[in-house]
Amino acid sequence: MRAVSSLLVLAAIPAALAVKTHDFKTCSQAGFCRRGRALSTRAAESPSWSSPYSVDASSISVANGQASFTAAVKSSIYPEVKFALDVRIHDDGVVRVRMDEVDGMRKHYDEAASWALIAEPKISQQIQWDVGKDGVRAVYGAKKDIEVNVSFEPLKVTLLRDGKEQVLLNGRGLLHMEHFRTKESVEKSKEGLVTSEAGAEGDDAQVVLGAHPRVAWFEGDSEDGWWEETFNSFTDPKPKGPESLSVDLDFPNHGHVYGIPQHATRLDLPTTTGEDAYYDDPYRLYNADVFEYLADSTMSLYGSIPLMHAHSADSTVAIFNAVGSETWIDVGHPSPKSTSSHWISESGILDVFILPGPTPQDVFAQYARLTGTPALPAHWALGYHQCRWNYVSSEDVRSVQKRFDEEDIPVDVFWLDIEYSEDHKYFIWDKKHFPDPVDMIRDVEAIERKMVVIIDPHLKRTDDYPVYKQATELGILVKKQDGTTDYDGWCWSGSSAWVDFFHPGSWDWWKTLFKVESQGSQWSWIESTVNTGIWNDMNEPSVFNGPEISMPRENIHYGGWEHRDVHNINGMLFSNLTSQAVAARTNPPQRPFVLTRSFYAGSQRFGAMWTGDNLGTWEHMEVGVKMVLANNLGGFAFSGSDVGGFFGNPEPEMLVRWYGVGIFSPFFRAHAHIDTKRREPFLLDEPYKSIVRDMIRLRYTMLPVWYTAFRETSVTGMPVVRPQYVVFPHDEAGASIDDQFMIGSSGLLVKPVTRKGVTEETVYLAEDQVYYDYFSNHAYRGAAKGKNITVAAELHQIPVFIRGGSIVPTRERPRRSSPLMKYDPFTLRVALSKEGTARGELYLDDGVTYSHQEGKFVWREFSAEKPAKKTVRISSHDLGARKPAEAVDHVALSAYDRSNDFAKKVADVRVEKMVVLGLSAKPSSVTVSGKELQWTFTPGVAASDKQEGTASVLIIKDPKLSITSDWAIDIKA
């Protein structure tokens, strides 16, 4: 079991850097999780087990002209309790299954999906349900290959493709929605009942509880954690009693599952149940401030996305379980080619979306249509971010910026942590150390850089703090259990209150706070600028004196909902409203930058995330790569881990390697704890400083690749960084690989080095194709069944490859910040495939506003083709004109004007260099429009060859081709 090895890891970490596991529950310490696991055990031990839930066939009601039906659900153990079932099939084939208690004592929380979804999904008007004697059935899909069966007795939902089971809901009979009840009603139901334990003898055979035998076989014979629960010194009064939800969601023909971020573990989720389970505890989704978390654990971390992908070489499917409360998930493999999962939630209704795939690309599109695509970030946000807790003064910030410029190290953003604020009253500057905040920010912005300032959710409870005072007057603070008294907890600010962002009265008020002009009697942050980004930390929420370092579950939010119902959603609303507030500072709005620590399904629409308080260890560097990949699978592409680790003082080798990871992360930030030594890259000794400088410059060189990848994810939902199985779904050998990845559709393959003392690395090539070393142009050959290659990986080297068939646009001129590059020329690397062809894309817009949604952008396709036997033609075409409806996020343009305002501004931006890899022979001519160009050719291995070695290289010098125009270069042998 993993518990043993985790203890060994803990033993190797200094006591000051060890996670306080006793602050956080295990499944055995959570009553509803114990009940759910006990239910699963009873089911596994009973050969005749059958779910007590069944559909009342006489109650079936099929909607007229829609693929939707409702029905009553009965429970054989509680025949007096009513449940309702609602099953729908959306236009894109996604199946939604909802079940809730009807006419109960209380209402189960049913609003989680409303916060996650971008809109109510459209129900198909083409698909029809067929009601039979034993169930309801629908067949659909272009090939009529998808089938959904809803069985009546017991209730079971099955998704099939080509007759093979893809997803089973309640196939093992673990569905259980605990109905609302009172202590008195339970006691009354037990009157006169005395049962005996099997095998017990004598007086001890009497069970005091006396559970009804009709119930005990399913629910167990004890009221385990129903009415009250104590953990450490905290008691949860559970005023609503038991209300948990259990459901089994299985994948009988898929041997790999991914997702359910955020956990520090492998991408292909290890098992938590069954023979030789890797972990003891289920995966936990409960947003928590886990200080110095373990690098290999199922512990909950800062965010929760209840989305699980299931994959085989034949197909990919997924389930999205829209629940906002604490959830535990057991994962098992009944066989190497099948997966079981058991979801146990503290509260909420059954609201499961079954995503039928069948490809990874289909699954990402289906999920994006539900919860939205990642926001297209401001271009500068993809540059290098320099942060620490804390830059201590205005002059400190200016000094750090000066050192970056003196050492010629690019940087786009400087960050301020909590110490900028007076007594941790966020928005309020500590004028002793930051006497001139606006001037300081403008000094940074003078070089087209930006500042990001932290705004945490806890408000210091003092009347001289206008933000707290106004929130109190508006009555929009989170309440204690009585529903009227403002909750008082402890955080960085001392005695603190929390805004209830579920309360509509908080929304416009919060937006007003960020205005940089005076708002009359309404306080606003006039000591800021419209370009300042915002960092939302501690929004799980973190409460230092609360249970599990968070808010009591019995606290009350708007609508009377308990905190337990909405805990995992809470942090998303904070960053959502902050993102809206930052965008609304200007008219028209600019793209906001907001970094959040806590997140939920849908958070991708509002900004970026990072993996929290990692340690400066090789293990955390390694798992950070996997966590970023997992977040990308969860739809949250703009993600990264803090370079260098938040805690500790990494040695130079480790820090250099971590920069090698960071430059290939969607979000690239270095950060450090207040107790660590300063470790800005300009402080490194040689050769480390020069290596890191070159790495950061490489990031800036590749910004066109990253921005183009973000355009794609903002439209399609495809990940920015893609694990092996996403790119090569039919390759079983690559399904568990999580230490290398592709960047968007660029063709760049990256294998960061995350181990000490490494001088060479092994890279997996999944296909029979040529791959070129990005730096040396060495050509490697893959194989149809996959192949491992060994490559050099000295400290200054990062294994990066261009997949044959790709064209990679870069900007090669070093600048101090990314906005200074906006009129720089491009270099195109044309990496010919073994067939002699290639393709790539470039997307550009102003990088700041939303004018791209009005058609003000440039979107080009570059291609290399063979129009004749001895000719390679490299050409540029307008993708905006060809695919206007697919060009940008949130808008389906009907047409595209290639002479739009932005295109005019960059019309003089040119291709200054072209590098063609893998030609079979020296050209006889290289021409554009019949005019011979300047070029040089270095002989080498051809793309079509079978041997490896340095590829042939054709360099075309300054063809003076506009990046906005159509053109074609003919290379004749």
Name the residues annotated as catalytic.
537, 540, 613
**CB-neighbour burial class of residue 87 (10 A; exposed 0-12, middle 13-18, buried 19+):** buried
For the chain, the C-alpha Rg in angstroms (whole number) is 29
Question: In the numeric block, which tokens belong to residue 849?
Answer: 């506003």
Q: Which residue has the tokens 């659909």?
A: 140
Q: Phi and psi at residue 509, in whole multiples of 5°?
A: -60, -45
DSSP secondary structure of 104-121: -SS-----HHHHH-SSPP
Beta bridge partners of 73: 55, 83
Question: In the numeric block, which tokens belong to residue 344?
Answer: 């146990």
3-state class (DSSP) for residue 474: helix
Q: Is the dihedral of CA 543, 548, 551, 552 positive or negative?
A: negative
Q: Phi and psi at residue 114, in whole multiples of 5°?
A: -65, -30
CA dist., res. 955 & res. 10, Å (int): 53
**3-state class percentages of the chain: helix first, strand second, coil last, to nearest 5:** 25, 30, 45
CA dist., res. 1 & res. 281, Å (int): 10
Question: In the numeric block, which tokens belong to residue 136?
Answer: 């309801």
- For the chain, the first-to-last Cα distance in angstroms comes to 62
CA dist., res. 277 & res. 297, Å (int): 13
Those residues whose C-beta lies under 8 Å from the C-beta of residue 224, and which sit 6 or more positions away, are 31, 34, 35, 38
Give, in degrees to the nearest 5, the angle at Cα 602 between 599 and 604: 75
CA dist., res. 461 & res. 441, Å (int): 28
Closest CA to 474 of 462, 486, 464, 483: 486
3-state class (DSSP) for residue 370: helix
CA dist., res. 134 & res. 150, Å (int): 9
- Residue 323 near residue 351, CB atoms below 8 Å: yes
Those residues whose C-beta lies under 8 Å from the C-beta of residue 385, and which sit 6 or more positions away, are 411, 412, 413, 415, 452, 667, 668, 669, 670
Beta bridge partners of 765: 787
Q: Is the dihedral of CA 626, 630, 632, 637 positive or negative?
A: negative
Those residues whose C-beta lies under 8 Å from the C-beta of residue 745, and which sit 6 or more positions away, are 709, 712, 718, 841
CA dist., res. 830 & res. 912, Å (int): 14
- Residue 244 near residue 347, CB atoms below 8 Å: yes
Q: Phi and psi at residue 348, in whole multiples of 5°?
A: 110, 175
- Residue 644 near residue 673, CB atoms below 8 Å: no
Q: Which residue has the tokens 């109905």?
A: 179
Closest CA to 259 of 314, 323, 331, 324: 331
Residue type, 470: Q
Q: Which residue has the tokens 């400087």?
A: 414
The total number of residues shown for the chain amounts to 973
- Residue 942 near residue 952, CB atoms below 8 Å: yes
